[in-house]
Amino acid sequence: MNKSNTILVAALVFVTGLISCSEQKGNEDEKFRKGWALAWEDDFNGKLNEDEWSKSPRGKTHMSLYMSSNDALYVMQEGNLVLRGVANNADTEAIPFLTGGITREGVKKGSVSRIEVKARMNPVEGATPFVTLLPADGTKNIAIDVMERYSLDEFVYQSVTSEYTTTEGMPDNPPSSALVGVNPNEYHIYGVEKYPDSLVFFVDNIRTKKYPRILTHIPGQFPFDDMEFNIFIGIRLNKETDPAALPADMFIDWVRYYEPESVVAK
């Protein structure tokens, strides 16, 4: 969700209670999810598996404006992949910042699936860590934001973006965004389940929001089951970011992808 859309829906969202989570690995790390079977996971021990993950390329979107493949932005540290956003003091390219991001295949068209990412971040003014699902074919103006956190906020956004919520001006029927209070310095598990008729969001395995398919004559309300989506994880900086406040780091402990037990058993 871009900043203008965030402002547009800010009055329409709800804030849940602060969700606390210890940095220690505990029960929240259990892989079991009732009704789900783990199809794949990456716990980032060792090095980034570039057979599965790609470094996000630079582009013209706000998310990809400063993306770089520089190895210094992809650090393995104590079982985490650390994605970094830094001031560009050495790169020959004429951009003020460099940011790290990764992407891989996410959810299939028509599938029922669940994605979870365990991560924490150091809050920096002007930095936005994100976990987002975007159409694999590059279609614009469609996104499933599993987690976005702006600057020093002690809450995250979980939201959807579509033609219906933006071009058609319908971000509130049904509500397209929710705020969830978190301590960004601690690890949290951010997740979404995709069904043919809804998206269901979670933080620390607590359901936070449902976005349903509804009957409407207005186009583009629920395109999310009709497309392939890739998962993008990274850090976004804006031109007002103070270089002296950097680096901005996002610590990714693991990513897990689940399918219904009935599907895996076949």
**What's residue 264's pLDDT?**
58
Q: Which residues lie below 8 Å from residue 93, measured CB to CB, with a gap of 6+?
A: 68
Is 50 exceeded by the pLDDT of residue 138?
yes
176-231 per-position pLDDT tens digit: 999 999 998 999 999 999 999 999 999 999 999 999 999 999 999 999 999 999 99
Identify the pLDDT of residue 92: 63
Measured in residues, the chain has a length of 266
- pLDDT band (50, 70, 90) for residue 91: low
Distance CA 179, CA 156 (A): 6
Residues 106 and 53 sit within 8 Å (Cβ to Cβ): no
Q: How many CB atoms lie within 10 A of CB 73?
A: 23
Class of domain 3-21+37-264: mainly beta
SS3 68: coil
Query: Which pLDDT value is given to residue 184?
Result: 86
Other C-beta atoms closer than 10 Å to the C-beta of 55 total 20
Mean pLDDT value across the chain:
88
The contacts of residue 6 (CB under 8 Å, 6+ apart) are: 150, 157, 177
CA-based angle 246:248:249, to the nearest 5?
A: 145
177, β-bridge pairs: 159
In this predicted structure, what is the pLDDT of residue 23?
42
* Top-confidence residue, 194 or 9: 194
Residue of 201, 177, 238 lying closest to 10 (CA atoms): 177
Burial class of 195 by CB neighbour count within 10 A (0 to 12, 13 to 18, 19+): middle
Question: What is the pLDDT averaged over residues 84-92?
Answer: 83
Average pLDDT over residues 1-14: 38
Neighbouring-strand partners of residue 135: 229
Q: Where are the domains of the chain?
A: 3-21+37-264
Residue 198 is predicted with a pLDDT of 98
Report how far Cα 102 is from the mean position of its chain's Cα atoms.
Answer: 11
The stretch 83-90 carries a mean pLDDT of: 91
pLDDT tens per residue across span 11-59? 333 333 433 433 444 445 688 999 999 999 999 988 899 999 999 999 9
Strand order across the 155-161 sheet: 15-19, 177-182, 155-161, 143-148, 127-135, 229-237, 101-107, 54-55
- Interval 104-112 mean pLDDT: 94
% of the chain exceeding 90 in pLDDT: 79
Token look-up 């993008």 returns: 232
